[in-house]
Structure 1
Amino acid sequence: MRIACFTQFAYGKKLGGSKVLVELGEELNRQGHETRVLTPFEFLGETANHKTHALAYAQAIQKFTHDERANFDVFDVDCAYLQFARRDYATEPLLVSRSVLLTLWQEREIKIPERKTLRAFAGKLLKGRQRQQEWQGLFASMRNSFREADLINLANGQDKGLLVRDGISPEKILIQPYGIDSNRRALFDAQPILPENNFRVAFVGTYDERKGRCEFPRFVRALAKNFPQVRVILLGTYKTEQEVKADFPSDLVHHIEVLPAFEPEQLPALLAACTVGIFPSHLEAFGFGVLEMLAAGLPVIAYNSPGPPEMLPPEWLVPRGDWQAMATSVAELLTNEALEIMRHKQRARELSRRFNWQNIAQQTVQFYEEALQRR
């Protein structure tokens, strides 16, 4: 099968948006398929901006489907850039809308906490109307892509439920979770699972409001109250150590360690030094950070929001935004005996094995082939 995938981000594995397509594409190629991952920069130059050049990128994709229709069986496109009617694209290949429904969830029912700062207030006052208009334009493009695409590719079941409630046929929707390839899996497996409790709690993800920034200081205070030796390690924050620690009162700063960025091959060793993982994200397409912490053998306590429930058992989920429940669940894990900690860690690693790119790629191709046959 020949697949062209279009992402809105630069090509690479450090950001989740393109990481998914790059790793999936590599696995598809290993299995004998022909996959090409395309970015806005290939069409619009190095100064391309996926926000200001959205229409130009959408038009470039539309033209590409006609110019290259004989060379591909599937065009897999980020939903924001399928802005035209189905008849405006090449008819022979399968047209897939790859969708991340973060903005739709926020429009409907998931409100991300906002930090009450003067800068945030000023930004809302000065740019609030413009942002709302941008969001409405994005919603319109997404809904159009769902109607016009032959298939919709989602990463979790709650997203599917949202679209089905909107009248989209469930037969049109593929749920494709994300995975870990065999080479990266080997790096995680090379790190032994140890029963020692070192009271180090890991978080892998950007440090922002959607991923629990507003709740983090209260969570850390609740945990430190019972465990004075606890350390919360924030990995991949992208904000500097100084910016992150500025959110915490002076008496909590020594409980925080921050690593804004790291190379992917470093992560298994960084996580091996921890006992428990947390993921206080209000909303995800999937949650790579959760999967990586599980692969490292960390039981992960997460908000029960779209994304993480695809990977985690119910007892490792707490209500969205409930930092107290998260602190309580983490405390319960930290008070376990060594053998019980070992059992939780082994379970975490086994849970992660369900999510591997080899199986996901095979299932994706099968779904696409069946769709092509129906057409």
Structure 2
Amino acid sequence: MAQTLKILMILHMPWHRDLGGSRVQLELADEFRAMGHEVQKFDYNDAFPEENSSFLQRLTRPSFASKAKAFVQANAHRFDIIDAHQGNLPFSKQELGIKGLLVARSVGLYAFYEEFAKQEKIKWPPKRKKTLIGNWLRSWLSRKEISDCLPSLQNCDVINVPNQDEQAYVRDVLGMGEKCFVFPFGLSPKRQQAFAQAVQPAAVRLASKQVVFIGTWGARKGARDFAEIMMRTKAKVPDARFLFLGTAFSSEAIFADLDMPACDWIEIVPRFAGEELPKLLSKATVGAFPSYIEGFGFAVLEKLACGLPTVAYNVPGPREMLHHFDDDLMVTAGDSEQFSNQIIKLLTLDEVSYSQLSQQCIEVARIFSWSQIAKDTLDVYRKFLGV
């Protein structure tokens, strides 16, 4: 019988299933426990239990890394594996007192996000003074966290990344390929089934003409491109409708950002519970995800699991899933015209072609199973542990 492993998950965000960054470790923890292993966590709320801290307190309090370091130094002896987000433990194993395996986990490699942030400032410079100040403060707060990322990768035993592009960067640029492994994100069988049961007949979905986006509203997710995408799509498919889910901003804020008046063909749902998503997607026709950079892209995976052909920019993360399709569902990042043309093509498919493509979406989504990903992950961890 395989040895029971004691695993500690560390993350600088709340341990919450509806947050993409923490959802990865949370759902892996479910799988590890189902395999008979013990899993504990140390998250943002454990480090900073005071819920209503002021902005000044947030500016002056210790870093998450220092809190995580103290916790690990006191508890490392209890665990075989410590699986921490990049930047959370930028210290040597000796300093931390770790005898077992130290993993640095990426859910989106810091270097890729830094590069997008630089390009964003050039392509979409903020116009308002308030925005400039807010961006500067956020940049100042994140600078230390970013500087901790490289040493956390250097000091760990294993680097866990979600896509091939990140592995290539770690190998070719950082020179740490021998300890870097790709483990994509996945869905549980229960979640896969919930999406599959929500699939509507092709005739219903094609009649709906609804394009759906899931994600927080922001430039990285394609917010600056959507006005053109929608206008180009409406010009060729006048009855097309758009649904924005999980924007975290109100309808008023998003219409203002789009510089468009409120209209009945755009629906905005700022927040929703995870279990509501299959129903929300059930009558949609096409997925749209013009994100410029992702670790993986739950928004793409879940739309595929619901049988929704999804158009995305050809960037790290989404391409891990969309390269499985013969028809090109990926377009050049920033090419709103090409993106719109692909959406129009999907909205105007015949029922047979749409039904076949929808079924292929479901089959591709099934490749990404948490139970298999968890087994593969522990196989690598055990190899490095020598157990």
Superposition TM-score, scaled by structure 2 size = 0.89
Deviation at residue 250 of structure 1 after TM alignment: 4.4
Equivalent AA in structure 2 for residue 41 of structure 1: N
Equivalent AA in structure 2 for residue 225 of structure 1: A
Which residue is equivalent to 1:208? 218
Which residue is equivalent to 1:75? 82
Give the secondary-structure state (helix, strand or coil) at the position aligned to 1:178: coil
Give the secondary-structure state (helix, strand or coil) at the position aligned to 1:142: helix
How many pairs were matched up? 372
Deviation at residue 102 of structure 1 after TM alignment: 5.0
Tell me if 1:333 matches 2:343: no
Which residue is equivalent to 2:19? 15
Distance in structure 2 (CA, Å) of the matches to 1:128 and 1:264? 30
Deviation at residue 15 of structure 1 after TM alignment: 1.0
Equivalent AA in structure 1 for residue 368 of structure 2: F
193, 201, 206: which one aligns with 1:194: 201
321, 333, 336: which one aligns with 1:323: 336
Equivalent AA in structure 1 for residue 383 of structure 2: E
Deviation at residue 193 of structure 1 after TM alignment: 4.2
Tell me if 1:307 matches 2:320: no
Which residue is equivalent to 2:151? 144
Which residue is equivalent to 1:62? 69
Distance in structure 1 (CA, Å) of the matches to 2:93 and 2:171? 20
* Alignment CA distance shift 1:319-1:67 (3 Å): same
* Superposition pairs of residues 270-309 of structure 1, within 5 angstroms: 270-309=280-319
In the TM superposition, what whole-angstrom CA distance separates every residue of 1:232-286 from its partner, at most 9, and x where no partner exists? 1111111111111223354783331111111111111111101110110001111
* Alignment CA distance shift 1:306-1:74 (3 Å): same
Tell me if 1:91 matches 2:98: yes
* Alignment CA distance shift 1:90-1:201 (3 Å): same
Which residue is equivalent to 1:361? 374
Which residue is equivalent to 2:240? 230
Deviation at residue 52 of structure 1 after TM alignment: 4.4
Which residue is equivalent to 1:118? 127
Q: Would the aligned equivalents of 2:28 and 2:374 in 1 still touch at CA under 8 Å? A: yes
After superposing the two structures, state which structure 1 stretch, 33-42 or 141-150, moved more: 33-42
Q: Would the aligned equivalents of 1:207 and 1:239 in 2 still touch at CA under 8 Å? A: yes
Deviation at residue 3 of structure 1 after TM alignment: 0.8
* Alignment CA distance shift 1:147-1:54 (3 Å): farther
Equivalent AA in structure 2 for residue 323 of structure 1: S
Q: Which runs of 5+ in 2 are unaligned?
A: none
Distance in structure 2 (CA, Å) of the matches to 1:128 and 1:331? 36
Give the secondary-structure state (helix, strand or coil) at the position aligned to 1:253: coil
After superposing the two structures, state which structure 1 stretch, 181-190 or 289-298, moved more: 181-190
Equivalent AA in structure 1 for residue 253 of structure 2: E
After superposing the two structures, state which structure 1 stretch, 8-17 or 57-66, moved more: 57-66
After superposing the two structures, state which structure 1 stretch, 222-231 or 262-271, moved more: 262-271
Give the secondary-structure state (helix, strand or coil) at the position aligned to 1:153: strand
* Alignment CA distance shift 1:53-1:279 (3 Å): farther
Q: Which runs of 5+ in 1 are unaligned?
A: none
* Alignment CA distance shift 1:102-1:169 (3 Å): closer
Q: Would the aligned equivalents of 1:221 and 1:252 in 2 still touch at CA under 8 Å? A: no
Distance in structure 2 (CA, Å) of the matches to 1:91 and 1:143? 19
Root-mean-square deviation (CA), in Å?
A: 2.4
Distance in structure 1 (CA, Å) of the matches to 2:186 and 2:377? 13
Distance in structure 2 (CA, Å) of the matches to 1:252 and 1:312? 33
Equivalent AA in structure 1 for residue 331 of structure 2: V
Distance in structure 2 (CA, Å) of the matches to 1:368 and 1:15? 25
Deviation at residue 57 of structure 1 after TM alignment: 2.8
Q: Would the aligned equivalents of 2:108 and 2:296 in 1 still touch at CA under 8 Å? A: no
Tell me if 1:25 matches 2:25: no
In the TM superposition, what whole-angstrom CA distance separates every residue of 1:286-324 from its partner, at most 9, and x where no partner exists? 111001100100011100111101111261100111111
Which residue is equivalent to 1:171? 178
Deviation at residue 131 of structure 1 after TM alignment: 5.2
Distance in structure 2 (CA, Å) of the matches to 1:216 and 1:272? 22
16, 22, 38: which one aligns with 2:42: 38
* Alignment CA distance shift 1:368-1:54 (3 Å): farther
Q: Would the aligned equivalents of 2:42 and 2:68 in 1 still touch at CA under 8 Å? A: no
In the TM superposition, what whole-angstrom CA distance separates every residue of 1:36-78 from its partner, at most 9, and x where no partner exists? 1221222332347997478543233223333323321101111
Equivalent AA in structure 1 for residue 355 of structure 2: M
Deviation at residue 9 of structure 1 after TM alignment: 1.4
Same amino acid, percent of matched pairs: 29
Deviation at residue 340 of structure 1 after TM alignment: 0.4
Which residue is equivalent to 1:244? 254
Distance in structure 1 (CA, Å) of the matches to 2:320 and 2:240? 28
